[in-house]
Structure 1
């Protein structure tokens, strides 16, 4: 595929997404005002034959009974029996009684237990059921003979009013009083005389059927899917004459529509969404559910994107549509003027630029969070290589902040992905994030994104205060992972500790100093073993000597760890420091807990088994250094917040480090 074709596809996907969001807003804000028109394409994924396929097969069976094998069974039937081919006439020859006719048709439209559950409702059918459950849709007009829509509705606990024949129409209550009505406009297989399929049958409806259709078209908006409009002349004419256009006609079609469908849509100023029924109805249902749950007054694209991504990833296979969605969203974001052309000057205030970029990046951030948590190595490639693009500063003169405004989006993406990876314990992905680099515009050297995307400069002049990136990313994580805030805080702090530990381990000076530290650790272990042996043998002299070596090793370890701590560069963090056992000494509880787990589990720890680090002791050392360094910052912060209590100065035992930098 050429780059131009890819660009067109991404632009088309973005436009389709905008259309679906607009339609979903109408469904949510005006429940029950739209009806669905469902054609054969909606049931195609269930493995069912089309209505024409059934008629061809039935006439072929009649030919078999006559010992004939015609190329066109339908034409052969009409010429042989000098009659119009109808389901009723063909079925009478194959199955004389009503029971036999229904039993025969069931073989086409109901699942066969020996065929691995064929003819199950598709994603589209279940999405329609979700729309009905939300009250967004109450009327469904289906052109299919199957009852998969009814099955999906009943699975969702909804009992629909089913209209499939002239008699049903005559006895139906007023349409607006039915919570859910499924109209089989062409009949259904349980009532063979009601089934319409031939060109002649579809050229004109009976009076009752026509009047019901006109009532629906007059009173409701229309969302059509899976309908080619080629053979249904009566339906085309009814839409032309009776659809008033108060509501936008929306047509969901994955391919290029035919001439009949295109002319009909354009005559009613309708919109085309080029996607399949599964994806189209799924998007609508996701959007309506997310808006309803939040009492939204406008489309919440972040919530919709997250819900849809979760649903598509749950399918257990790579979703091409999800790939296209995130690619289109990245392109949309990169083409934002503030991102595409970051110069060092602007007519806008910095706070306005920050707000625009944050809003534009919200959907991408939500998709990254979802993919980082539920995705795999395949889906990781859809987004991870995009991060360095959003870590590059612009070129030219002017304000450094304005030149680096791409980093506003890049920082949020990086933290979103990292915290989500921690939440899913995808530590291999986390380490991959920490290996990403950009070229420094000042030195030309590669520098880690884990450092440069931790900048906090853009907090300046932001309304409501708050530190970045935590203030921006936390609400997105809450949307993607509805867990208690304490759980999210735990994930975030662990990410901060591991980010700083990874930066430290990649420092060449750490690699040098750690060799001494590891040697001393080994000497300490040997001394402790010697003391244990001396105690077992009752040798007090050897015990005393071992204890002396232990004391010296512990002192050396403390000094060596202090030297390593000096290598930790304190980038902005959202971490909590707490007072330790030593007076006025502060450490990072999350880091201390992780170090203890590494000491116990060793090489069996998940961080080691998944490739985040190659050696448990090495990672433990880095984590302890991070704890000490940021603990020192916590102590300074706490001492600066001394408050009076009972006449004495009181130092807080716990303090967040957000305001240190």
Structure 2
């Protein structure tokens, strides 16, 4: 059996199962920022307690307290004596956390920065912390991530669900700007029922990485970990030296792994570097893709090389298929970050496949084109078990959808609308064993339950899928076009034929079964840098039977047959035009 260092295993987990590990951060994580640990605050509070009694110096403040009060120092007891109300205690803690000037070191540390980058990359989505400070929130905002922060029961009731939040920070002891922060032993003994329910869910559904936390003081948090009996994902404890007895009990309970560390900054910086190294290794090397494209141009044009072309295509299809059918894919829980990571991973794993399909659709012979249709058909994964999240089942078709669009783009660049018609109307098997036209199931907006506004940075776009994948196509379109303007127009041409044929296919279904009418509308609905969708529809009407679309056999092959679908589409656009 191959033995990996724990930090290497953790880096691989973050890459292969993004978002399944939660972090639990204690005061040690902020130590390098000049924010003292709980014990350091205890010693400083002892000094304050001594000062008001006229004692200005002592060689050992802990011993002074023991000699004076006859017991071990208690953070809770001392703080309770100095500040009797929660508001007073908040004011005391405020002084330890808030920076006093621009030169103050109380700013996000290397650890905070590395954690923020891991979160921005989608590797982590949930953080539990006992800290009152806002250093992690500040580091996240520098990375363009606005976290959902839950620091009270009030915040919990109105919070975005974990699966839909890019990052959720659960501050179990509160925020230093809130007078309700938890400090004393009695306050740390138990959480509100709502907080316990949230922690029970997190510890059951996520793995855990603990750093900067001893486990000795926080009774309610420790009990929440002990309540969880599941071993769904790995449990790691990053520890300076040997964990305490209570820490060891938690590790044993969760069958966890200890990661020896020197400090939080070094640990999280190394973890980030290892994660980025693994992630970059899975990307297709540009030279590899370029070689594959050049090979596809040669193999797809020569009938004598048909076996070699089939092998190239089959190899890339198999590469994608193994990923979709793997445990790695099956364990992904849908959420903003995991879906963004899944899109990125699918794009990476299909780059060679979709690029060779693009060039073969443009220059390949009929036999090569036939094999492209077979490849797209195999990427529907209709044979797979359909249980689980609808979102993730639909996302299995993303690889096929990408190849479908790239094949259409190549065929339109070839000005071969016969091939366009073949692609749009070819029958694909669905999970319920039906055979349906590809145009009905392969457009991005036809992937069931997928709200493409989940794409990072496109949350406010009206056509996020169109905008996102058009940008990807623009980077690869040089394989078949000469300049960026051509690639942009080619994408819009492709989306237009999809919209029109989808509308034509949808109308009889609506009339037969009463389903509502809609059509996947691309960016040309609003993008004036191109030909507007409304202008394209009018041109189609003006050209009538002479249009290249009708002559290819699409839309029923005539303007008369296309008319009702065009009318329905125009009515649909009239109702939704305010979106654009």
Same fold at TM > 0.5: no
TM-score with structure 2 length normalisation?
0.42
Larger radius of gyration: 1
